Amino acid sequence: MSALYLAFDIGGTHVKWGILDDSGVLVEKGSFSSADGTGSVILSGIRETIAREKHRIEGVAVSAPGFIHQPGGYIERGGAVTEFDDFDLCGTLEKEFQLPVTLENDVNCAALAEYWLGSASGVNDFTCMTIGTGIGGAMVLNGALYRGAAFRGGEFGFMLTRGLNHDTPLQGSLSDVASIRTIRRRYAAVKHLKLEDVTGEMVFQAYDEGDAQAEQIIHQFYETLALGIFNLAAILNPEKILLGGGITSRPSFLAEISRHVSYVNEFLDIPLELCRFRNDAGLIGALAHFKTVHQRTTDRKPDVRPLA
């Protein structure tokens, strides 16, 4: 029987968990509330799940937001998760359950899932951009996940899209201008609605129906996102750029963003593709990282060492 592993994908509202076999196939999955990213609630849910599944698993793999040091998976900053700053999650769980535990950044895990079994299989140089509440990123260069000198590489959302505002330095960042959160905020403002009553789906539906204000908001979203994609292509010259996040399930998304990138530079000859894995990317990528750290064989072992 194939070995089984327990993986967690920590998000802002929910923590997804899954039981996966050696080949990355999910055999069971579920989720629990993260109480809007409260670390103590998340840790309690993880402990309960491990205790319940411990009898049939060989290890635990975790995907989480934030700046995560390797090797060891020490959390320097927990990002959207409160109470996880300067926290040794792996050491805490390993001591309690006597199981090997690994931890990797969530967007890095998405890239590793694509590198192992998805749209980047057979590709040694690619970037992965996720579009959601903010903009996330990961880079695989020369077959290795690039984390940067202080494990902060791939923060695509911090790229500035206009001049620096010294009062609010990150105003105008890619995450500030080209995220689903920004689309919702702008639409709520022009329609005089409460932000909590506006969803990204609502804005795109209005765009599809020809609403002039929605069209202006969505066009600006695509234009700014295209600038960020072009900058990545110009700096890194990867074999391909992968795009992920819930918005990418929109049937026309790839054609629309490709068209806007061509407006920036029609000679940019780098394929834009969608990530194969969406909701399960964090779980699969967390397992890919675990198997590399513990030298478990895979058909295509991802090399997650930082570049020298």
Domains present along the chain, CATH in parentheses: 4-105 (3.30.420.40), 119-275 (3.30.420.40)
Give the tens place of pLDDT for each residue, 16-65. Answer: 999 999 999 999 999 999 887 888 999 999 999 999 999 999 999 999 99
Instruction: Name beta bridge partners: 4.
Output: 21
SS (H, E, C) 288-300: HHHHHHCCCCCCC
Q: What is the percent of the chain where pLDDT is above 70?
A: 92
pLDDT greater than 50 at residue 152: yes
Q: Which residue has the tokens 């600006």?
A: 220
Give the tens place of pLDDT for each residue, 186-243. Answer: 999 999 999 999 999 999 999 999 999 999 999 999 999 999 999 999 999 999 999 9
Lowest pLDDT segment from 111-115, 136-140, 147-151, 300-304 = 300-304
Give the tens place of pLDDT for each residue, 248-289. Answer: 999 999 999 999 998 887 667 889 999 999 889 999 999 999
**Is the dihedral angle over the CA atoms 278, 283, 289, 291 positive or is it negative?**
negative
Mean pLDDT of 68-96: 88
What is the structure's pLDDT at 265?
76
Give the tens place of pLDDT for each residue, 277-286. Answer: 988 999 999 9
The pTM score is 0.87
Local structure of 242: helix, strand or coil: strand
pLDDT greater than 70 at residue 164: no
Query: What's the whole-number average pLDDT of the chain?
Result: 89
By the 8 A CB rule, do 242 and 114 touch?
yes
- Read off the tokens for 216: 């202006």
CA distance 144 to 135: 22
Which class for 58: exposed (0-12), middle (13-18), buried (19 or more C-beta within 10 A)? middle
